[in-house]
Amino acid sequence: MAIALCPGSFDPVTNGHLDIVERASRYFDRVIVAVIRNPQKTQALFTLEERKEMLSEVLGHLPNVEIDFFKGLLVDFARDKGADAIVKGLRAVTDFDYELQMAQMNHKLSGIDTFFMTTNPQWSFLSSSLVREVARFGGDVSSMVPEVVLGRLKERYAEEA
Ligand code: PNS
């Protein structure tokens, strides 16, 4: 059984993430969406539970996809789960340097391979951080995130206002 990890912060999940996970689920027997518990990044917008709820809702139609959390090194989580591969989306050449470095480091540490999938060009400009920023200032992100995420963004920023 081939198991893949799709790791990330998913704060929140976007249509770009969905596209990658859906496509990965066609090539692997099991896909684990691995939500990092202790990102280096500054403040999170959504709690881990909220992120998991949104992911569960939008990925519920994929029977071979599950959601889990990890902290520490991704390669340790991969070993614990018996994962064979890491799957990442590449949006543009700007992603490449860092992703290549991480893929090579992860391979050096554990022998795990990383598979890159080219992002659908429709989503190549999309990131969770930009979605948060645009939504925070009232911009329209309805075509960029699933409906459940849109609702949560509106709620969250209405609370802040
Ligand atoms: O969605 P993000 O924030 O771009 O995801 C980044 C993530 C979580 C995939 C990356 O930071 C990661 O794998 N962190 C785990 C810590 C780790 O293993 N670091 C060494 C990477 S070579």
List per-residue pLDDT tens for the chain, 161 residues long: 999 999 999 999 999 999 999 999 999 999 999 999 976 666 899 999 999 999 999 999 999 999 999 999 999 999 999 999 999 999 999 899 999 999 999 999 999 999 999 999 999 999 999 999 999 999 999 999 999 999 999 999 998 77
Tokens of 158: 């209405």
pTM for this prediction: 0.96
Query: Whole-angstrom Cα distance, residue 70 to residue 126?
Result: 24
Tokens of 27: 């090539």
Query: Whole-angstrom Cα distance, residue 136 to residue 46?
Result: 13
- Closest-lying ligand 1 atom to the alpha carbon of residue 109: 22
| Closest C-alpha residue for ligand 1 atom 17 | 73
Active site residues per annotation: 17, 41, 91, 128
Query: Whole-angstrom Cα distance, residue 10 to residue 48?
Result: 9
State in Å: Cα 155 to ligand 1 middle. 28
| Closest C-alpha residue for ligand 1 atom 16 | 73
Q: Is 46 exposed, middle or buried (0-12, 13-18, 19+ CB in 10 A)?
A: buried
